[in-house]
Amino acid sequence: MKRAIQRLLFGFAEVACATLLLSSCLPDSLEVESVPAAKTELVVSSLIVPDQSVLVFLTRSFGALDASDNSNPNELLDLIAVNDAVVTIEGPDGKDTLNFMGNGAYGGVPISLKVGEEYLLNAISSELGQVYAKTEVKRTVEFENIEAELYYNGFNDTLAQITYSLSDGPERNFYMINVQEVEREDILENLLNPRAFTLLVPDASFNGHSHADQFRVFPRDYAPGDTIAVSLSNISEDYFKFMQIRIDNRFSFVEFVSEPVNYPSNIVGGRGYFNLYIPDVRIFVFE
């Protein structure tokens, strides 16, 4: 788990550096004086590990002047990670205090998620104060059928092609499908890699019926012997909208923690999004 969190954080840092390098290509901006600095706030994001343990990542918001194209990724992480917080999640079975795992990450505690129940996240930082958020676990939806195979597009690229079907309920549902390359000996940890391919599927066109579709994963090339994990999650409409903006923004992490921020949020007193769901995860090894 520790190695997985390190990969997650370094992935975020790479995105930050890419954005900063692009900013160096822009013309020099005019100097502006007497502009008040924006308030630094706690930024919350959450991940679900297949064993239903929860990983909460806490950072501080920062402005464009707090980093430059010469910023070191490790130093940037040191700048934004919030390491002094007490983080709890309270549900119908009681309250759990998450363990501090380094670099702004808190988790390591299995939490039994129950469909239809509400959970309260509370984070208190001695420096940045308190934030909290509530979320309800949506009904679990599993793949009816799913296949994964290699697709050769004729341009020396080998993509992953996913064919799946699911049975949608009568209520409005919003689905998130993630495809992540993993190593067979390290499956759970690799699922935390931020470079996962994400497909968002609203049920507006098939509400209450079966749905089948096929898509190809890009831009990564795959090869025989590669292992992938494909997960299906039923998420809230608000989190669906949040993820739409993150996917549309190529450099989502920097946009997410910097200012100004135009993302929807359920965090009271801060920014970001707290969401819990129970994914259906399938593992495939390409022939």
Q: pLDDT tens for residues 160-176?
A: 999 999 999 999 999 99
Write the pLDDT tens digit of every residue in 212-248.
999 999 767 888 999 998 999 999 999 999 888 877 7
Same domain, 99 and 155: no
- Count of structural domains within the chain: 2
Write the pLDDT tens digit of every residue in 1-58.
545 544 544 444 443 333 333 333 334 444 555 545 567 889 898 888 756 678 898 9
Parent domain of 253: 2-138+249-272
Q: Is beta strand 42-48 parallel, antiparallel or unpaired with respect to 271-272?
A: parallel
On the CB side of 205, how many CA atoms lie within 13 Å of its CA?
A: 6
Same domain, 152 and 91: no
Question: Which residue, 88, 153, 95, 148, is CA-closest to 121?
Answer: 88
Same domain, 181 and 230: yes
Question: Which residue, 202, 227, 213, 48, is CA-closest to 144?
Answer: 213
DSSP, residue by residue, 126-186? TTTEEEEEEEEPPPP--EEEEEEEEEE-SSS-EEEEEEEEEE--SS--EEEEEEEEE-GGG
Same domain, 40 and 124: yes
Same domain, 11 and 151: no
Distances (CA, A) of 258 to 64, 142, 196: 7, 36, 22
Q: Which one has a higher pLDDT value, 254 or 201?
A: 201
Same domain, 115 and 13: yes
CB-CB contact of 235 with 190 (8 Å): no
